[in-house]
Amino acid sequence: MYSKFWPQGGLPGILHHFTETLVTFEFTTSTTPKPHSLLFIGGLGDGLATTSYMADLAKALNPTDWSLFTLNLTSSHSAWGLGHLDRDTNEIAQCLNYIKDYKAGGETKVGNANGKVVLMGHSTGSQCVMHYLSKPNPHTSLKGFDTGLEHVTRPVLDGAIMQAPVSDREAIQWVLNQGWMGRTPSEVTEIYKQIERIAKEEVSKNPDPAFDMLLPLHLTGVIGYPGNVPLSARRFLSLVSPDSPQTPGEDDLFSSDLGDEQLGRTFGMVRKQALLRHRLMVLISGADQAIPAWVDKEALLRRWREATERSREEEGGKEIWDEESGLIPGASHALSNDDQAEPRWNLVERVLRYLKGAETV
């Protein structure tokens, strides 16, 4: 069975720079690069190898032709409140281009130029996967938000996996309904409304996306966000998406109340953007603490599948929703609790079968 914690002494591998300031770590015991690569993207607050079940994936992939990569983004660890999905997926594309070149042998080109590359996201990493697959290539928005940000052309993927895709908006709604850290629902809701008012007023005063402001930590830290994480007005509004479901924010991709038209702009664009050679696998944790009890997970998966395949009915082509998609029974959000050995085994086995199929595309 799979263990909860990292093995004592850690796991071996290679640290790579894919830009001057950003790195990716390859879990490997081989001195010769394996042909295929799985790049893992964590969620809000994650960074280099911080999602615990990566240890299980690394050990399971060790005897295969696949190596597992994890990476640091500019928005990793405590910087997620200052990030946005365009920048994240730009940096992911840079990392993928580096991996492909490295596996091909770099300038010598003596490696495996035909190796497969699969992208896997956990939690907000799933938002990165969907953003990567569904948006124009290269991106056309937010050019003024980051000084010097250059949109890069994203390479085609041989596969894509989303694990624990959740709605940040519905998660904050759950906090407002339940209360937080000894505060009643009405008290938390009043603080939330104050933060939303501050954020909207600031964005209205400064419509130029090159300018933003930090929200007061003494407010954001008492409605469910970490008290030591800076959160900008624009990222806050993107996450909580107060104009949803009619006009969802950039981060509002997985809420259960989004209409078919909006799902057509995300799941429905995967086929049209043609950035995925194999299929899309979506795994929802059956006991995910970040999904409110009022959300029907099975119905949500059905709607996502229908949106993904609707364009197939119009344009033809192969099915791109993977049959391994579904709930992981008993799984918590990050499968990191003491009782998660069986769900972690379930997750790893599904990923291994998926990667085997991706080798044939």
How many structural domains does the chain have? Answer: 2
Regarding whether 174 and 161 lie in a shared domain, the answer is: no
Regarding whether 124 and 270 lie in a shared domain, the answer is: yes
289 part of a folded domain? yes
Q: Give the domain-ending residue among 210, 240, 270.
A: 240
247 part of a folded domain? no
SS3 67: strand
pLDDT above 90 covers what percent of the chain? 81
pLDDT, tens digit, for every residue of 271-297?
A: 999 999 999 999 999 999 999 999 999
1 part of a folded domain? no
- Check residues 313 and 87 and name the one with the higher pLDDT: 87
Two structure tokens written together for 194: 């104050």
Binned at pLDDT 50, 70 and 90, residue 109 comes out as low
Tokens 């596996």 correspond to: 103
CATH code of the domain in which 68 resides: 3.40.50.1820
Regarding whether 116 and 179 lie in a shared domain, the answer is: no
CA distances from 21 to 16, 18, 72, 238 (A): 11, 8, 9, 26
Regarding whether 296 and 155 lie in a shared domain, the answer is: yes
Note the Cα 268 to chain centre separation in Å: 18
147 part of a folded domain? yes
- Check residues 168 and 206 and name the one with the higher pLDDT: 168
Cα–Cα distance measured from residue 97 to residue 16, given in angstroms and rounded to the nearest whole number? 13
63 class by beta-carbon count within 10 Å (0-12 exposed, 13-18 middle, 19+ buried) = exposed
Query: What pTM was estimated for this model as a whole?
Result: 0.94
Task: Please give the pLDDT value at position 4.
Answer: 45
* 182 pLDDT above the threshold of 80: yes
Note the Cα 182 to chain centre separation in Å: 31
pLDDT, tens digit, for every residue of 230-240?
A: 999 999 999 99
Regarding whether 190 and 149 lie in a shared domain, the answer is: no
Host domain of residue 62: 13-167+255-358
Cα–Cα distance measured from residue 68 to residue 236, given in angstroms and rounded to the nearest whole number? 32
Regarding whether 145 and 17 lie in a shared domain, the answer is: yes
- On the question of a cis peptide bond just before residue 343, with omega within 30 degrees of 0, the verdict is no
Please give the average per-residue pLDDT across 143-157, as a whole number. Answer: 80
Alpha-carbon radius of gyration of the chain: 20
Binned at pLDDT 50, 70 and 90, residue 1 comes out as very low
* 350 pLDDT above the threshold of 60: yes
Which DSSP letter does residue 104 get? T
Question: Mean pLDDT lowest for which of 93-97, 106-110, 230-234, 313-317?
Answer: 106-110
Regarding whether 37 and 20 lie in a shared domain, the answer is: yes
298 part of a folded domain? yes
* 152 pLDDT above the threshold of 70: yes
Two structure tokens written together for 65: 């032709």
Task: Please give the pLDDT value at position 5.
Answer: 46
Q: Give the domain-ending residue among 240, 263, 295.
A: 240
Two structure tokens written together for 3: 């263990």
248 part of a folded domain? no
133 part of a folded domain? yes
Regarding whether 125 and 176 lie in a shared domain, the answer is: no
Regarding whether 294 and 149 lie in a shared domain, the answer is: yes
Regarding whether 64 and 17 lie in a shared domain, the answer is: yes
Two structure tokens written together for 319: 């099915």
Question: Mean pLDDT lowest for which of 67-81, 103-117, 123-137, 275-289?
Answer: 103-117
4 part of a folded domain? no
Nearest residue to 39 (alpha-carbon basis) of 123, 107, 125, 138: 125
| Backbone torsions φ then ψ of 92, nearest 5 degrees | -60, -40
Regarding whether 295 and 276 lie in a shared domain, the answer is: yes
Regarding whether 307 and 198 lie in a shared domain, the answer is: no
